[in-house]
Every structure is written in structure tokens, then in C-alpha cells.
Amino acid sequence: MDTPKGEYICKARKKLTEGDTGRKKPLAVGDRVVLEQIDTSKKEAVIYEVKRRRTRLSRSHPANPRLEQIIAANVDQALIVSAVKEPPLTVGIIDRYVIATEYGGIVPIICINKIDLISSDETDYTDTAQIYRQAGYQTALVSAESGEGLETLKNLLIDKTTVIAGHSGVGKSSIINALQPGLELKTAPLGYKGKHCTATASLLGLDMGGYVVDTPGIRELQPWDIDKGEVQQFFTEIWKKADECKLPACTHTHEPNCAVKKALEEGEIPRTRYDSYVAIVQSVGSNQAPRATDVDDPGQQIPKKKRQRSRRRRRQDMENLIDENWKDFIN
Ligand SMILES: Nc1nc2c(ncn2[C@@H]2O[C@H](COP(=O)(O)OP(=O)(O)OP(=O)(O)O)[C@@H](O)[C@H]2O)c(=O)[nH]1
Ligand SMILES: [Mg+2]
Ligand SMILES: [Zn+2]
């Protein structure tokens, strides 16, 4: 571990591994920790304490959905990477990441990579990008291969700490290599059919200022601690219409006099957004399930009401920012 006093070999204190499955330590990349030096001559230390996390990107643990798994901590924003093809562009995973990032206090940026693979008459990916822009998200269309769009992307990442996330093979490590020459992160060789070229998450400094966290591609992301009724808050177009529905707890799936379904029929809400919303609602658990977190101090868990308020405020802040600057994000 890099510290202000040089590199140290660190072990986690036993207590830090308690309260989890035993397979994974509750430490995450980006954690601020307190070290206790055990041997000055050998530069060895024990991680004594994990500081309160300012933000977090979490998911439900794939092996045990009642446990929280933290992918990265204390980052400002997440670059949610997909590819135009190889692997094919799927909005479901983007929307799941948007939920997980906003839930954890992180600003999402939608990034579509490998645009060099597409001919000029195939415009599906630009339509997808436009839908996200209209929903209020920052969007970057790039090619790590040709370098297209990377200058715009740099402007979004400068002086920020950004976790780079997405399916395996979309080009996360390739984008970082293109942004920061000299890192030479391992990427999948051409024609490689296997998955998961990057095996662990790592925090990397950028010469232009800021940090990125490269993460291993994940197969699925089930948002942590989200109820069916909460999913709509992460879909701006749906959330804006929800107040007009007749039933106060309308889920916009089967209820009568639903303003969201009306907006869908009138073409105001894109079909892809609605279908993705419904698929996520169907997949998340009910709110009765008891849950465990790997946060030691229960005081760190924000009460649900307060979280909803801050999420709404954050969304408003983001919308204001995008109104002013959104033109800069088009490339
Ligand atoms: N044509 C093209 N190929 C790309 C581009 N970016 C990445 N690739 C290729 O896509 C493959 C996967 O890239 P990686 O950077 O290893 O992908 P990753 O997202 O880091 O994958 P994991 O580490 O497994 O999660 C490699 O063969 C890259 O050369 C691009 O912009 N255009
Ligand atoms: Mg990688
Ligand atoms: Zn409704």
C-alpha cells in the first residue's frame, strides 16, 4: 500500500474481516485507513481502522444478496462503460450502475466505447446516448483504439476520483491506458474469448490530475438495498411523471390511470427506458428482507428517509449543472 511514508506491506486487523462472509474482507479500494506500524525496518503495518466512507459503489453480494459488497469507496464519480459491440450494448446494466452510483452518492457518467467498430449508417448507439443526455446524464462516446472522444472524456475526469465500471471486455483498462500512457494495464488480447482480464480493483494516479479505479468486469449488478418502489427515483423521466399517477404508490406496471404509461404511449418516455425500469423493478427484492452490511459502525448507515431526500437534492443539483453545461458533454 502506498502511504505518505512510502510503500508498506499491510495486513488487515482481524476485526476488519468479521461481519462478512469470510470470503471477502470488508475493505474496498478507495478506503481511507489508519495504519499502525509494526516493524519500522521492514515497512510492515496493520490496517487498524477504516474511516467513514464518503461515497460508495455497492451491490448485493452475488453469493448472498443480503450482504453488501463494496466495489469502490470515496470516489466522486463513476464512468459506466459499455461498448457499441463486442460485447453488445445493453442498457439494463447501465441503468443498474446508475442506480448503484446515485444510491452511494456518486455521479454517473455514461460512456460508450469502441465507436471505431461502427459504420456511419449504424446510429443505434447515438440514439441511446441521446436518450441518456435527455434524461440528464453526462455522456461520452469514445474509442480507446482510435482516440476519438478521449479529449472530452479527459475534461470530465480531470481532478476527480473516478471508478471505471462495466461488463468484462468493454474496454475499461484500454481506456485508462489511452488516457494515461505508461501504465500498461493488462488488456484482453485480440480474439480473446475468456472473461475478466483485470482481476482486482486498483487506484491509479493520472498525470493531468485525479485518480481512476480500474475494476474487474462483473457479470451482474443487483443494486444494494433498493426496494421496488424506489427504482423509479433513478429514472428521471419516470420520476417526473409519477406525481400525476392516480394511485400514490403506483409502480407504473399494471395500475389504472397511470401517467407514466400514458407518457410512454405518447412517446414522451422512450420504450427502452420503460422496459429497463420494469425489468429492474421485477428483479429487486421486497423491503421486508433483513439485510446486513459490512459497515462496522451502524451509525454510518443513513436512515432511509434522509437518503431519499438527499437523492432528490442531488438529482436537482445535477440537473442544474447539466442545463448549464450539457453542450460540452456532446462529442
Ligand atoms: N476496436 C476496439 N477495440 C477495443 C477498444 N477498446 C478496447 N478494445 C479491445 O477490447 C478488448 C477488451 O478490452 P479490455 O480493456 O481488456 O476490457 P476490460 O473492460 O478492461 O475487461 P475486463 O478487465 O475483463 O473487465 C481488448 O481486446 C481491447 O483491445 C476500442 O475502442 N475499439
Ligand atoms: Mg480490464
Ligand atoms: Zn403510474
33: its cell numbers: 485507513
Bridge partners (DSSP) of residue 7 are 2
Q: Give the number of the atom of ligand 1 that is nearest the alpha carbon of residue 167.
A: 25
In the three-class reduction of DSSP (H, G, I as helix; E, B as strand; rest coil), residue 135 is classed as coil
Nearest by Cα to 89 from 136, 135, 129, 134? 129
CA of 86 to the centre of ligand 1 (A): 9
Mutate to test the pocket of ligand 1, among 84, 111, 118, 187 (most ligand atoms within 8 A of CB): 187
HSE-up of residue 190 (Cα within 13 Å, Cβ side) = 1
Domains defined for the chain, CATH in brackets: 2-50 (no CATH), 56-214 (3.40.50.300), 228-290 (1.10.40.50)
The pocket around ligand 1, CB under 6 angstroms, is made up of: 113-114, 116-117, 143-145, 168-174, 187-188, 190, 195-198, 216-217
pLDDT at 71: 93
Q: How far apart are the C-alpha atoms of 26 and 16, rounded to whole Å? A: 6
Identify which ligand lies nearest to the alpha carbon of 86: 1
Torsional class of 210: left (φ above 0), alpha (ψ -120 to 50), beta (otherwise):
left
Given a contact cutoff of 8 angstroms between Cβ atoms, the answer to whether 98 and 92 are in contact is: no
Q: Which backbone phi and psi does 123 adopt, to 5 degrees?
A: -110, 10
Q: How far apart are the C-alpha atoms of 327 and 120, rounded to whole Å? A: 22
Per-residue pLDDT of the chain (331 residues), as tens digits, is: 888 888 888 888 877 754 444 444 578 899 988 888 887 788 888 888 888 899 999 999 888 888 888 999 999 999 999 999 999 999 999 999 999 999 999 999 999 999 999 987 788 899 999 999 999 999 999 999 999 999 999 999 999 999 999 999 999 999 999 999 999 899 988 766 657 789 889 999 999 999 999 999 988 899 999 999 999 999 999 999 999 999 999 999 999 999 999 999 999 999 999 999 999 999 987 544 444 444 433 344 445 555 555 555 545 444 433 333 222 222 2
Given a contact cutoff of 8 angstroms between Cβ atoms, the answer to whether 175 and 144 are in contact is: yes
- Going from the C-alpha of 328 to that of each of 151, 179, 189, the distances in angstroms are 11, 19, 34
